[in-house]
Amino acid sequence: MDLRRLLSTPVTVLALAGLLVSGCSSGSSAPGASTSGTRASGSAPSADLAPYYTQKVTWRSCGAPGFECATMKAPLDYQKPKDGDIELAVSRKKATDPGRRIGSLLVNPGGPGGSAIQYLQGYAAIGYPAAVRARYDMVAVDPRGVARSEPVECLTGKQMDAYTEVDQTPDDASETQKLTTSLKGFAQGCEKHSAKILPHVSTVEAARDMDVLRGILGDKKLNYVGASYGTFLGATYAGLFPDRVGRLVLDGAMDPSLSSLEMNRDQTAGFETAFQSFAADCIKHKNCPLGTASTADASHRLEAFFSRLDAKPVPTGQSRPLTESLATTGVISAMYDETSWPDLRTALTQAMSGNGAGLLALSDSYYERSGDGKYANLMYANAAVNCLDLPPAFTAPASVTKALPSFEKASPVFGRGFAWAALNCAYWPVPATGRAHRIEAKGAAPIVVVGTIRDPATPYKWAKSLAAQLSSGTLLTYDGDGHTAYGRGSTCIDTAINTYLLDGTPPKNGKQCS
C-alpha cells in the first residue's frame, strides 16, 4: 500500500493509476547533479550515444486502426553505454493532416508507473482536440521499467493482495513490526525479480530516453504534454536539454525542490483539501453517508468508520474483506476526479451498512488489480523510481512516529496512513542517487505550467513553485477540483493550451480559469 504517491491524470484513474516521485536521479550525471544548466545539451550526441539516436526502428500496426508500435534501444546505463541496452516500447498515431504537421507530440500520464502507451491508445490519440491530433504525430514511450518497457516485477498477485491489506496505521509494536516486514518483503521481491534494472529506472534516465526518441523521430525540438509525475519528467528533460525544448505543457505540476518528507506532507494536505471539497458537496445530499451537519462532522464520521474497519473488516462478497487500508485507498482514489464523488457516496453508504464491495472495487482500480487477481506493474515501477530519485522520507519507524503530529495536522483523516506509507523507501535495496533541487532550464523556450487550486495529488503551490523556478515558465491556473486540468471541462484551460500547442503562443503568466 503506497497511498501518498498517486500522481496521474484523471482519465487514468478509470483505467490505470499514477504515482508520485520527486527529485533528480543519477542517469548519466553524478549523484545530486543539478539539471538546471546545459551540461547535457548540445547540437549532437556523443560518439557513444550517436548509434542510439540514429537507429532505425520498425513500425508495425498495433491496437486500434491507425496506431503503430515499435521498439527502440537505449543504454541501460548512460554512464556506460557500451555495457548493454534496454528495449523500450513506443507507439504513435500519425497526424491526420500531414500537410500541416508540426512534428511529434509525446505524452505521459504520470506515475511513475503509468503506461504512456496505454494512455495514448486509450485516450490521448482519441480524446485530444482534433486540431491538435491533425497537426501532431501523437507519440508515447513506456518509460524504462514500466508496462511494456522491461517492467519491474516484485510480487505475485496473492502476495500483492496481502501487501495492500496490511494495517498502515499501526497501534502498537506488533502492528508496526508487521508493517515493516511487509515493506521489507516488497523491496526484497523487487530485488529478487528485477535486480538488473532497479539501479537504472531514474527519471533522469527516462528523460534521456525521451531525447533519444526525439532523435529517432527526426524532431529538432521535443514537444510534450506531461501530467502529474509526467511534469517532473518533462521538467527534468528541460533542465538537461534546454536548447531542445519545443512546446512543453506540464499539467498538475510537481515541485522538484522539495525533499521526500516535504512532498509527502504537502500531498497529505492536498488530499485533505480534496476531501473537504468532497465533504462539502456530500452534505448537500440528504443521503450523504457522512451526515448532513458539517464538513467537520463528516470528517469525524469517516475517521470513526476507518477505526471500526481497523478493528473489524467488513465483507465484500469475495474472499478479501474490506480492511481499513483498502477502504482508505478506495476513498483516496475518488479524490482524483470529482465525477467519482457519486460513486464514492454510494460505496461509503454500502460499506457502512456492511457491504465493502464498492470501496474494494475503487481500491482495486487504483492498484490496477484485474478481476483474475493479477496486478499491473504500476506499484512496482512506482516504488523503483521513487526510491531511486530521492533519499527516503523516513529511515526507521521511530522517525515516522516523530513526524506523526505534523502529518496529522496536515490531515486528521489521512495523516497517519500517509506518514507510515512514506516509510517504504527505507528498505529499498538500491541507494537513492538523486536529491531535491531546483530546475531552471535556462535558455529553454516558453514552458506552460498548469496548476489546479484544489488538486489532491499535486498541490497548487507546487505549480506556482515550478513555474517560478523555470526561467521560461508561465503559470496557468485552474480554479477547480480534481487532479490536473487539461481536457477536464474548462474551455478556458483547453483553449489556452491548444493555442500554445498549435501556434506556440503561451498564455499570459498568471492567467486563471474556472
User: In the prediction, which pLDDT does 223 show?
Assistant: 98
Greatest extent of the chain over all pairs of C-alpha atoms, in Å: 68
Does the predicted model carry a pTM greater than 0.85?
yes
Q: Taking a C-beta distance cutoff of 8 angstroms, is the pair 6, 366 a contact?
A: yes
Chain centroid to Cα 392, Å, comes to 17
Q: Is there a cis peptide before residue 506, judged by omega within 30 degrees of 0?
A: no
Reply yes or no on whether the pLDDT at 13 is more than 50: no
Segment 433-482, tens digit of pLDDT? 999 999 999 999 999 999 999 999 999 999 999 999 999 999 999 999 99
The arithmetic mean of pLDDT across residues 239-259, rounded, is: 98
What band does 64 get if pLDDT is binned at 50, 70 and 90? confident
Report the sign of the C-alpha dihedral through residues 454, 281, 272, 339, in that order: negative
Q: What is the pLDDT of residues 477-504, one digit of tens each?
A: 999 999 999 999 999 999 999 999 999 9
Q: How far is CA 296 from the centre of its chain?
A: 30
Q: Write the CA distances from 304 to 301, 309, 416, 419, integer angstroms.
A: 5, 9, 14, 19
Q: Does residue 319 surpass a pLDDT of 90? A: yes
- Please determine, for residue 261, whether its predicted confidence score (pLDDT) is greater than 50: yes
Helix (H, G, I), strand (E, B) or coil at 371: coil
The β-bridge partners of 448 are 249, 474
Q: How far apart are CA 229 and CA 252, in angstroms?
A: 8
The rounded Cα 132 to chain-centroid distance in angstroms is 24
Owner of C-alpha cell 487504483: 366
Exposed/middle/buried for residue 243 (C-beta within 10 Å: 0-12, 13-18, 19+): middle
Average pLDDT (164-193) is 98
C-alpha cell at 105: 507530440
**Residue 380 confidence class, pLDDT cut points 50, 70, 90:** very high
126-150, pLDDT tens digit by residue? 999 999 999 999 999 999 999 999 9
What is the DSSP track for 251-277? ES---TTS-HHHHHHHHHHHHHHHHHH
Calculate the average pLDDT of the chain. Answer: 92
In the chain, % of residues over pLDDT 90: 91
The pLDDT of residue 12 is above 80: no
Note the pLDDT of residue 42.
Answer: 55
Distance (Å) of CA 476 to CA 4, 484, 510 = 25, 11, 6
Apex CA 12: angle with CA 10 and CA 14, to 5°?
Answer: 90
Q: Smallest Cα–Cα separation from 70: which of 62, 78, 79, 80?
A: 62
pLDDT at 404: 98
User: Active-site residue numbers?
Assistant: 228, 455, 483
Could you give the angle at which helices 260-282 and 397-410 cross, rounded to 10 degrees?
40
Place of cell 503561451: 506
- The span from the CA of 201 to the CA of 456, in Å, is 26
> Cβ–Cβ contacts within 10 Å for residue 12, how many?
29
What are the extents of the domains in the chain? 157-197+260-427
Say what the pLDDT of residue 43 is.
63
* 449 compared with 37, residue with greater pLDDT: 449
Within 10 A of 85 (CB to CB), how many other CB atoms are there? 15
Of 4-8, 265-269, 276-280, the least confident: 4-8
Residue % of the chain over a pLDDT of 70: 92
Alpha-carbon span 206 to 217, nearest angstrom: 16
| Statement: residue 60 has pLDDT above 80 | yes
**Which distant-in-sequence residues (6+ apart) come within 8 Å of 19 by Cβ?**
2, 5, 6, 7, 8, 110, 111, 112, 113, 114, 229, 378, 379, 382, 386
Facing residues of 108 across strands? 226
Comparison of pLDDT for 24 and 133, the residue scoring more: 133
Q: Does pLDDT of 39 surpass 50?
A: no
For 404, phi then psi, to 5°, come to: -55, -45
pLDDT tens-digit map of 191-218: 999 999 999 999 999 999 999 999 999 9
Amino acid 41: pLDDT: 55
Mean per-residue pLDDT for 288-316? 98
Nearest to 309 by CA among 272, 370, 363, 264: 363
Question: Going by C-beta distance under 8 Å and a sequence separation of 6 or more, which residues neighbour residue 1?
Answer: 163, 164, 165, 166, 168, 325, 329, 421
108, pLDDT greater than 60? yes
Expressed in percent and rounded to 5, the helix, strand and coil fractions of the chain are: 45, 15, 40
Report how far residue 436's alpha carbon sits from residue 417's, in angstroms, rounded to the nearest whole number: 24
Contact 117, 84 (CB under 8 A): no
Give the phi and the psi of residue 147 in degrees, each rounded to 5: 50, -105
Name the residue with higher pLDDT: 38 or 153.
Answer: 153
Residue 456 phi/psi, 5° resolution? -75, -40
Q: Is the pLDDT of residue 298 over 50?
A: yes
pLDDT at 246 over 60: yes
The model's confidence at residue 44, banded by pLDDT at 50, 70 and 90, is confident
Angle (CA) 90-92-97 rounded to 5° is: 160
The yes-or-no verdict on residue 269 having pLDDT over 70 is yes
